[in-house]
Structure 1
Amino acid sequence: MPARPASLLAAFAVWTILFLPSMLAGASPRAVFLLLLSALLFWPLAVWRPLRIVSVLFLVILGAANIVHDGFFGYLIDEFFIASSLRTTSSETREFLTSLPMGTMVWCAVWLLLCAGIVRFMLRKGNEPNLQGRASQRLAIAALLVWAGFLGYSHWTGPLDTTTALRKLHIVYPLHIANAGWRQYQITDALLYTPLLPEPTPPSPQSQVDTVVVVLGESASAHRWSLLGYQQAPTNASLQDIPGLQVARVLANGLNTAAALPYVLTGLSALDSVTHQAPSFIDLAQHAGYKTIVLNNSRYLRTGEDFLTHALRRSANVYLKVGDGDYDEVLTPALQTALQDPAPRKLIVLHTYGSHVTAASRYPKTAHQLADSYDTSIRYTSDLLAQWIRMLDTSSPQQSALLLYASDHGVVVPPCSGSSRSGGSLSSYEIPALAWANPVSLAQNAQLLTPLRQQDPAQVHISNTVIPEMAIQALGYSLQALSPTHRPRQVLLDAEGHPWEHSKAQLCQGQGT
């Protein structure tokens, strides 16, 4: 029995609802066209019974995940969501869920209720003419012909590899998840690459700093650093009067660790790093003859390697997991042991847990308590940085020493949200960077801290790729030691494809100094 046009239209409208999360990126005539195109191209999944329920359930779950991800970061899930999911522990997941914005939870509830009706419709109406009639089947065949036409045209115009095909098709919802999965697969597949190291080793040992400590921060926003203008609490009081200290407001290269931290290690994204076999500053330190020691307090699932864990372990002479998201003071005894190591030149990396995910859980009761829990977590980090600087300063006073710190990304803070949380805002992109050098280092190289010097601490001129750059220069290398595709720190990072000065106007700027 043929389906009546009105009946088929109603069935197609119900099917189209499952593709509505594609509109989270913004409503426009183009977005509406892509919504209808996506529903049409995947209509065969609604017609053929064996695929129908599986497809509906997949779209329901994916839609909920997209709503949550958009609620945090302002865009649909990507390869960094996949990477984060693969490394996130159950306790970290619970913390994330407790920090869900109320609006996101409401939209999720509305979505699931709406989808419950769609599933009921598909189960009850699945054998009726609106899905099984000739018109419905012809529509499905037309969709398949469009797919075949795309594949044929693409093959005719040139070789069609998976990367190219998914890059072209990612605008068709939900193929963005296929594109994200493929990009993550490319990173994982090439994980064990051999870094391309410069030859010969650094030519001028006299310019090398004897002990370099790099602290990888987590979830710290420059908007809550009193040294960078925040006036509501003395969050950096312990760092205030330390001589040889330089701080700056810099730009994060992503909104979560999987996206942002690779830039602090290699100066490139994870995918570009594996594509160009880029060395991390740890690789370069070992190549320069330094003893490399990595101390890690980050949480991650240890069932498999990912880009971040491999990049930290690959060239570490000593790798020690000293904590699993414990208070960062757990790193202090391990740092003291590392500083006492007799190696003449050392690079020590501390991977902290910072203010992630729930700031109130990131510091002990004995820490300086401020009115705001996020401010307290920043103060706790500052107190540790001050302690670690003093330890470095006293460990070998006759040798040169340098400590570098930057967060991977920041967080959303009030008034852009009810409390501090992961997400996209001005305070998420603008993060603190710190450098300290002892008098021996500054006498040896007066320009050592220059990259972080800027006249106005409220302005952003560089990104946090300044950290690997300063690290390798302290090791005796020029910037050319990083991958040739690395963007130098003087080039201001674009955000979401737009110059930063344009992009920042689109973000919540209510947080303030």
Structure 2
Amino acid sequence: MPEPSPASRRTRPVAAALLCGLLLLSFVLAHDGRRIAQVAVLALPALLWLRLRVSDPRWRRVRLVAVGAVLVLFLLDSAVRAFLQAGYRALPDSALVLSAVANTTPHEALEFAASQGASLAGQGVLLVAVIVGALRLLTVCNRHEAALRRPERWAMALLVLVCVASLAIKPWRRHHPLVYWPAWVASAHALQRDWSDQQQQRDALLSNARQAGVRFTGTGPSTVVLVLTDSVNRDNMSLYGYVRPTTPQLAALQQDERERMLTLRHAWSVEPGTVASLSGLFSFGTRDADDPVDRTHHVLALARAAGYRVWWMSNHDDTAIEQQHARLADSLEMINRESGRSGASLDGELLDCLEEALSDPAPRKLIVVHLLGAHPHYRLRAPADAPLMAIATDAVDAEMVDEGRPAWLRASRRAYDRAIAYHDTVVAASLRLTRRHAPRNGDAAWMFLSDHGQEVGHDISHAGHSPGTPAGYRIPALLWRQGAAFDARTAGRPFRADWAGWTLTDLMALEWQGARHDRNVLDARYVWQAPRLAAPVERFDQ
């Protein structure tokens, strides 16, 4: 075979350097610290193969395909990791990502892609350009090479030994895309299997509640309604001072009820996703993946053991929440029959279910109403004929322009605020129904909060769940109770959603062995402890 031309000999080292630099840059964007070096070593065997002399054209084609496939895998791996780090400050195998994937249908995945269309399209074009460039450089590097000189052979042997050692060490090997992603898929499937039928755990939780000696300390009938919503940031509610009139009905109820309605001004979620947030809320902030079920209490199990009849009604189509929480209820109604969250099912359709439960003659009732709230897609969280919340020239839009927020994000904020305005009518109606059906010779209470917040251009140019910014954790929390007034000073206390169970059980007048009064925001013994969030929050009381 003829020797390569001088021009070709000069081109190949440049192409090889550019290819190595491109890969290294992708690793730097996707990994931190020594992990960059580890992944670089794992990718090294493919690059070393390119330096070996291969004279047979057929084997060069085999090498081109094999090395190209490996490099594309590493580039895709880096792209996914960089996307998750930039948007969610999360690793692919974090609880946030694994639970989201395990709890997402293919249809929901398409919805997510559609909701992030502009951002994903730009990143997709960049990724394709990088892959095409890498493959073009690889084609140049794959041409005939001269035989290795003796120093090069020694260097090659040493590098091969390093590569073999890295592949033999499990903590290193598991980061190779060919090892990592099959294991990741297996983890997601295992999580789905764990959620598929948790009857045994539910039975254990009911047993725990009975053994704790939970008792009802009230003197008459009791009705408690818990309204949970999704992805609502209090910063977008006029009740909390937002300039767009997004919550006029709740504001009117606050004016009418005065000291009987409490708006907690500094409420926070401690989790940026629904599944983890609700797990913390219903387990009093004590349960995590490592806690055995025989040491755990669940709000619904305690309520049932104390004689409450429990309803769960939901506008979510969610396997994890249904298995972990909803099926602990005596009565379950899931009105969202469409896979995913882009259907026409609106939260207002739950109001008839709520009124039916409120009309039930059971003396003690706990009713959980789980709304979709303002979960993306924002435009689908309100009726098609709902009025627009604002025009493009109002004060909010002008402020976003000054902050450099793009036009698509300003449009998302308007759609989000429109969803909040419709949501206001549903939440206010739920309180009016609770008030109307409150027992005359007993107690009634209503509690409303969101599972987590939402970033819609508050801190960064992003729309959606946001583990890395405070907007992803700022939530509303409202309470109402019949007769007894709230201490006005309580409104200024910081509040965390994973402690909401202590307040809810107080509203239900429940006592049991191990109850923590210092975590009940309504109790004089309340002691605030700041949660550890992935986002930078300097103060929780503002």
Q: TM-score range by the shorter chain?
A: 0.7 to 0.9
Residue type of the partner of 2:75? V
Aligned residues: 461
Counterpart of 1:294 (choices 290, 312, 316) is: 312
State the Cα distance separating 1:496 from its structure 2 match: 2.2
Residue 82, structure 1, aligned to residue 98, structure 2: yes
The alignment status of 1:235 with 2:231, answered yes or no, reads no
Deviation at 1:432, TM superposition (A): 0.7
Q: Does residue 226 of structure 1 match 2:238?
A: yes
Structure 1 CA distance for aligned equivalents of residues 527 and 350 of structure 2: 29
| 1:118 corresponds to | 134
Amino acid at match of 1:313: A
SS of 1:299's equivalent in the other structure is coil
Q: 1:416 to 1:375 in 2, by over 3 A?
A: same
Matched, 1:97 2:117: no
Matched, 1:109 2:125: yes
Q: What is the alpha-carbon distance in structure 1 between the residues aligned to residue 73 and residue 224 of structure 2?
A: 49
3-state SS of paired residue (2:373):
coil
Q: How has the CA–CA distance of structure 1 residues 289 and 275 changed in structure 2, closer, same or farther, with 3 Å as cutoff? A: closer
CA–CA separation in structure 2 for the residues paired with 1:434 and 1:370: 23
Structure 2 letter corresponding to 1:240: Q
| Residue in 1 that maps onto 2:479 | 435
Instruction: Answer yes or no: is the 8 Å Cα contact 2:99–2:188 preserved in 1.
Output: yes
Cα distance in 1, alignment partners of residues 106 and 191 from structure 2: 24
Closer, same or farther: CA 53–321 of 1 in aligned 2, 3 Å: farther
Q: Are the equivalent residues in 2 in contact too, given 1:263–1:465 (CA < 8 A)?
A: yes
Q: Conserved in 2, the CA contact under 8 Å of 1:363 and 1:377?
A: yes
C-alpha distance in structure 2 between counterparts of 1:452 and 1:43, whole Å: 63
| Paired position in structure 2 for 1:491 | 529
Instruction: Please give the alpha-carbon distance, in whole angstroms, between the structure 2 residues aligned to 1:51 and 1:269.
Output: 46
Name the structure 1 match of 2:261. 245
Paired residues of 2:228 and 2:450 also in contact (CA < 8 A) = yes
After TM superposition, list the pairs within 5 Å mapping 1:48-447 onto structure 2. Answer: 52=67, 55-77=70-92, 78-100=94-116, 102=118, 105-122=121-138, 125=141, 135-136=155-156, 138-146=158-166, 148=168, 191=195, 192=198, 193=201, 194-195=204-205, 197-198=208-209, 199-206=211-218, 210-238=222-250, 239-243=253-257, 244-248=260-264, 249-266=266-283, 267-268=285-286, 271-272=289-290, 278-300=296-318, 305-306=319-320, 308-323=321-336, 324=338, 325=341, 326-365=345-384, 367=386, 369-371=388-390, 372-398=414-440, 399-414=442-457, 416=459, 420-423=463-466, 424-439=468-483, 442=484
Alpha-carbon contact 1:473-1:479 (below 8 Å) kept: no
CA distance in 2, matches of 1:233, 1:131: 75
Change in Cα spacing, 1:358 to 1:211, as seen in structure 2 (3 Å) is same
Q: Which has the larger radius of gyration?
A: 2
**Structure 1 unpaired stretches of 5+:** 152-164, 505-512
Q: For each residue in 1:122-171, what CA deviation from the matched residue of structure 2 results, as whole angstroms up to 9, or x when unmatched?
A: 577569669999655642431332454x56xxxxxxxxxxxxx69xx999
| 2: CA distance, partners of 1:56 / 1:254 | 35
TM-score for the superposition, normalised by structure 1: 0.75
Contact kept, 8 Å, 2:277 with 2:498, in 1: the verdict is no
Q: Tell me how far apart the structure 2 counterparts of residues 79 and 174 of structure 1 sit (CA, whole Å).
A: 21
Shift in CA distance, 283/425, structure 1 to aligned 2, threshold 3 Å: same
1:59-89 CA-to-partner distances (Å, cap 9, x unmatched) read: 3333333343334324443332232123224
- Give the conservation status (yes or no) of the 8 Å contact 1:405–1:467: no
CA RMSD of aligned residues (A): 4.3
Stretch moving more, 66-75 or 285-294 = 66-75
Q: TM-score, normalised by structure 2?
A: 0.71
Task: Name whichever of 89-98 and 406-415 sits farther off.
Answer: 89-98
Q: Equivalent residue for 2:5? A: none
Say which of 487, 490, 497 aligns to 1:464: 497
Contact 1:293 1:349 in 2 (8 A): yes
